[in-house]
Amino acid sequence: MINARAFQEALKLDCLVSSPFDEWDLRTPDLNRPGMQFCGFYEFFAFERPQVIGKVEMSYLDKQSAGNRRSILDKYMSYRIPCIVICRDLTPPPELLELAQKHQIFVFRTPAVTSKFTVNAIHYLNRCLAPHITRHGILLDVYGVGVLLTGKSGVGKSEAALELIKRGHQLVADDVVDICRISEERLIGTCPERIRHLMEIRGIGVIDVQAMFGIGAVTFSKTIDLIMELTVSGPDDSDELDRIGLDDSYFEILGVSVPCQKIPIKPGRNLAIIVEVAARNFSLKRAGMNAARELSSVFHDS
């Protein structure tokens, strides 16, 4: 469900007509421009979408007589439309506002041009309607790579994240990461608003990262590019690890396969620098440079 007031606030819209139906059961992030409906064609009318009236539609309405305009709009608003958005700060005809009040349909207005508003609205609805899931971990922006640190409680995720923040990297979310799939191959992670910019450090308690390290130490959201699972290694675990890095592992979240690396935890290991190197190495692999495969090819050729 899309909340009308949240939609209005996010897109900076002025409300011209309010409605008691303040939640919309939208199934797609697309919008509809009702030019064909104003001309009388309703066979494929996407009435369940937000309706956008731009300069073309408004000019057509302005050229109609008052009676004809009322007839057009009355039939148009007889459908269960979620809302009407008027772009370019255009002045709507009085019949539009009167009939919207009668049919209890929200009418908003924006100074944005139609194309710009459409892009912004689709982006917002895409985020709201995307599949969501919550995961335990810490999400950071490390050299432009979204790194999700996972592992059991007490393994050292917060300490590693704190050291990375001190090195100039950014915190997105600590402990609880809200993940949404915005495309078939892309995940975005954010932090719940109530705990945004906060971290829990064992033995110290909750700290405000933004207040302590500055606004540059935090960011609102980040793509999840790499998952690093911190594991407590035993004396016989070294044989199970891929020492060269030829085998690519993935972890599936919401149907998206994300590269995953297991990092064994041992006394004396500097986790922060390991995460930094993993992020840089991921960027190189994405650019087509894979040191492990280049080394393997050298041995095969020789």
Catalytic site residue 33?
A: no
Task: Note the pLDDT tens digit of each residue in 169-225.
Answer: 999 999 899 998 887 888 999 998 888 899 988 888 899 999 999 999 999 999 999
Catalytic site residue 169?
A: no
Both 93 and 148 in one domain: the answer is no
Q: Which two tokens stand for residue 279?
A: 């992020």
Q: How many domains does the chain have?
A: 2
Of 129, 151, 185, which closes a domain? 129
Q: What is the pLDDT of residue 153?
A: 82
Q: What is the pLDDT of residue 268?
A: 67
Catalytic site residue 194?
A: no
Query: What CATH number is given to the structural domain containing 68?
Result: 3.40.1390.20
Both 144 and 112 in one domain: the answer is no
Catalytic residue, candidates 22, 30, 74, 175:
175
**For 142-146, which contacts have Cβ atoms below 8 Å and span 24 or more sequence positions?**
142/169, 142/275, 142/276, 142/279, 143/169, 143/276, 143/279, 143/280, 143/283, 144/283, 145/225, 145/226, 145/279, 145/282, 145/283, 146/172, 146/189, 146/222, 146/223, 146/224, 146/225, 146/226
Catalytic residue, candidates 69, 157, 181, 222:
157
Catalytic residue, candidates 136, 152, 166, 167:
136
Task: Note the pLDDT tens digit of each residue in 142-163.
Answer: 999 999 999 888 788 888 999 9
Both 282 and 170 in one domain: the answer is yes
Both 64 and 43 in one domain: the answer is yes
Catalytic residue, candidates 243, 247, 300, 301:
243
Both 98 and 159 in one domain: the answer is no
Domain that holds residue 96: 2-129
Both 72 and 154 in one domain: the answer is no
Both 125 and 158 in one domain: the answer is no
Task: Note the pLDDT tens digit of each residue in 18-28.
Answer: 999 989 988 88
Instruction: Pick 270 or 111 by higher pLDDT.
Output: 111
Q: What is the pLDDT of residue 119?
A: 94
Q: What is the pLDDT of residue 60?
A: 93
